[in-house]
């Protein structure tokens, strides 16, 4: 089950698992993206879901439960940027929306899959975080706090569910070469008076490998962590970022 499966890393990840013959259950907030998922037959089930709404998350899992008795792999991929503002200027509504989407949605999904995984004594839970948890960019408190808490949730799951042979890990992508990065660069360029190219050059100057990460690379790591080849990898935070050292 992949959240945010309609585009970006979520779509690439869903396609990676589908190519291996896995049955994919995907959700996305975009109706057009869900329609495309359904028509492309990448997923066995695709629904429009706003994961910040627990009722919608539960409804989606009810639909999955009508098809299968359990979910073997849960990938909590959805994340929103949240507001860009000093802590004191973040509104309670912005704070709540960012945490509901980036943290609570994962908690609600985990609650639905863990009982079945424990009964089966098998299962993998993967959470997509961000290198910003380490670099702590200014004016991004709701996003960073939510992702840091998501990592802690993953580690707690690995400890509690480990005796049931359930594994839980975090993947921290770096600057991925995708539309989202283009939007981030454009906003930064507008704010600083630079060109998007100059902003990207500055960003990559703080990456040891001086290069962006492809979504396929991150999807491959998620696929590996879900596979039997990673049977004893749990409670880990794995960066796929080219060696990010700092972030403006």
Task: Kindly write down the DSSP assignment for every residue of 165-221, as one continuous string.
Answer: TEEEEEEEE-SBSSHHHHHHHHHHHHHHT--HHHHHHHHHTTBTT-S-B-HHHHHHH
Q: What is the per-residue pLDDT for 63?
A: 97
Q: How far is CA 209 from CA 135, 215, 229, 238, in A?
A: 17, 16, 27, 17
Q: What is the per-residue pLDDT for 144?
A: 97
pLDDT in tens, 198-226: 888 888 888 889 989 999 999 999 999 99
Q: What is the per-residue pLDDT for 2?
A: 98
Q: What is the per-residue pLDDT for 205?
A: 87
pLDDT in tens, 150-191: 999 999 999 999 999 999 999 999 988 888 877 877 888 888
Q: Is residue 248's pLDDT more than 70? A: no
Whole-angstrom Cα distance, residue 125 to residue 110? 8
Q: Is residue 196's pLDDT more than 90? A: no
Q: What is the per-residue pLDDT for 94?
A: 98
Mean pLDDT for 113-133 is 97
**Which is nearest to 68 in space by CA: 3, 116, 125?**
116
Q: Is residue 95's pLDDT more than 70? A: yes
Q: What is the per-residue pLDDT for 191?
A: 84
Whole-angstrom Cα distance, residue 159 to residue 84? 34
pLDDT in tens, 77-89: 999 999 999 999 9
Q: What is the mean pLDDT of the chain?
A: 94
Mean pLDDT for 8-21 is 96
Q: Which residue in this structure is represented by tokens 């600083």?
A: 192
| Count of C-beta atoms within a 10 Å radius of residue 92 | 7
Task: Give 2-176+213-240's CATH code, choosing from 3.90.1150.150, 1.10.357.10, 3.90.1170.50, 3.40.50.720.
Answer: 3.40.50.720
Mean pLDDT for 35-58 is 95
pLDDT in tens, 51-76: 999 999 999 999 999 999 999 999 99
- Residue 40 token pair: 């492309």
Residue % of the chain over a pLDDT of 90 = 81
Residue 103 belongs to what H/E stretch? none
10-24, 55-69, 111-125, 185-199: least confidently modelled range: 185-199
Report residue 159: phi and psi, to 5°: -75, -45
**Which is nearest to 237 in space by CA: 143, 126, 86, 137?**
126
């Amino acid at each position: 089950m992949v959240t945010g499966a309609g585009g970006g890393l979520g779509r690439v990840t869903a396609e990676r698992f589908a190519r291996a013959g896995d049955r994919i259950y995907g959700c996305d907030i975009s109706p057009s993206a869900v329609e495309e998922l359904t028509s492309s037959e990448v997923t066995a089930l695709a629904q429009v879901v706003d994961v910040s709404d627990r009722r919608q998350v539960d409804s989606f899992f009810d639909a999955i439960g009508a098809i299968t008795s359990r979910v073997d792999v849960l990938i909590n991929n959805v994340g929103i940027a949240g507001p860009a503002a000093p802590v004191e200027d973040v509104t309670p509504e912005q704070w709540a929306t960012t945490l509901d989407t980036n943290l609570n949605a994962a908690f609600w999904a985990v609650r639905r899959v863990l009982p079945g995984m424990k009964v089966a004594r098998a299962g993998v839970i993967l959470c997509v975080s961000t290198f910003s948890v380490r670099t702590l960019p200014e004016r991004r408190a709701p996003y960073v706090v939510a992702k840091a808490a998501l990592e802690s949730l993953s580690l707690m799951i690995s400890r509690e569910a480990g005796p049931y042979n359930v594994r839980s890990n975090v993947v921290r992508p770096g600057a991925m070469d995708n539309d989202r990065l283009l939007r981030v660069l454009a906003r930064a360029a507008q704010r600083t008076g630079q060109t998007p190219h100059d902003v990207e050059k500055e960003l990559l100057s703080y990456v040891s490998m001086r290069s962006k990460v492809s979504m396929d690379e991150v999807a491959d790591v998620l696929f590996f962590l879900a596979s039997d080849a990673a049977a004893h990898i749990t409670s880990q935070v794995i960066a796929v970022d080219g060696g990010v050292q700092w972030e403006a």
